[in-house]
Amino acid sequence: MLDDPDTAQQRHLSTMQRLVLESEDISSFLQDFTELLADRLTGPGGKRWCAITLLRDRKAATVVSSGPRAREFDELQSAFTHGPCLTAISEGAVIRAGDLRTDDRWPEYQQAAVARGVRSVLGLPFALDDDARAGVNIYSEVPHDFTPEMIASIELETKLAADALRLAVRLASQRESASDLRAAMESRTVIDLAVGVIMGQNRCSQDDAVSILKAASNHRNIKLRELAAELVASISSKPTRTAFES
């Protein structure tokens, strides 16, 4: 029995949040997602395989797959310029090939896929960033696979996975920005302290102290921050803190 739409969305959302929290990086998140999707879709009706294809600069490449067969099927499609999954990515639409033995929209790919045992294919666009497009590809050995209810559920999971991934990337970017800001603040603090030390030792102005510090940095061929930290450490063994730290 299928969940009602609200219950299904909450369940899928909870799953995506868990995957984001448990994954070490983007690749592991996508890997976990494809394996989970393949596991959910595979049942008494037949085996199904999942993969994610990245399309960049008109070149397609398999990013992750649920297993060796999934990678084999996906790399086969990437070898051709046209196919259901590549069409899904380029058109930004869900593409279903019900039976590749009779679906002649991609004749070259069709023959090769049927020879490998692929009967039906489902391709869904997977939103990434502006410079790259991707798709979730699902392969089945059963003709006329993927019911409307199943497609709707896969669409929902794919959308939530894409949203979760973009959020994770955004948070990671913010963490990097915060880290960069902190490093800049710490660098500025130790330089200011070193300038103060030079002013006290030489009884000179702040501008003169900065000039002395820069000249010493150039003469010893080391970074200004490293020289400043060395000077401050010679005065105090305690680590420096920014003005914003308690």
pLDDT digits (tens, 9 = 90+) for 34-93: 888 888 887 766 788 999 888 776 678 888 899 999 999 999 988 888 889 889 988 999
Q: State the amino acid at position 229 in one-letter form.
A: A
Which one has a higher pLDDT value, 237 or 92? Answer: 92
> Tens digits of per-residue pLDDT, 139-194?
999 999 889 998 998 898 888 888 777 666 665 555 555 555 556 666 777 888 88
Does residue 31 surpass a pLDDT of 90? no
Which of helix, strand or coil describes residue 187?
helix
> H or E stretch including 41?
helix 26-41
User: Which helix (H) or strand (E) covers residue 171, if one does?
Assistant: helix 148-202
> Tell me, what's the pLDDT at 236?
65
- As a whole number, the mean pLDDT across the chain is 79
Of 7-16, 66-75, 113-122, 219-228, which range is least confident? 7-16
Task: Tell me the range of 7-21, 26-40, 115-129 where mean pLDDT is highest.
Answer: 115-129
pLDDT score, position 118: 94
Tokens of 135: 């798709």
* Residue predicted with more confidence, 106 or 242: 106
pLDDT tens string 105-126: 999 999 999 999 999 999 999 8
Joined together, the tokens standing for residue 123 give 């391709």
Query: What is the average pLDDT across 122-143?
Result: 84
Weakest mean pLDDT among 17-21, 121-125, 216-220: 17-21
Tell me: pLDDT of 9 over 80: no
Q: What SS3 state is found at 232?
A: helix
Please give, one letter per residue, the 3-state secondary structure of 62-98.
Answer: EEEECCHHHHHHHHHHHCCCCCHHHHHHHHCCCEEEC
Q: Can you give the pLDDT at residue 2?
A: 44
Cα–Cα distance measured from residue 78 to residue 8, given in angstroms and rounded to the nearest whole number: 32
pLDDT of residue 241: 46
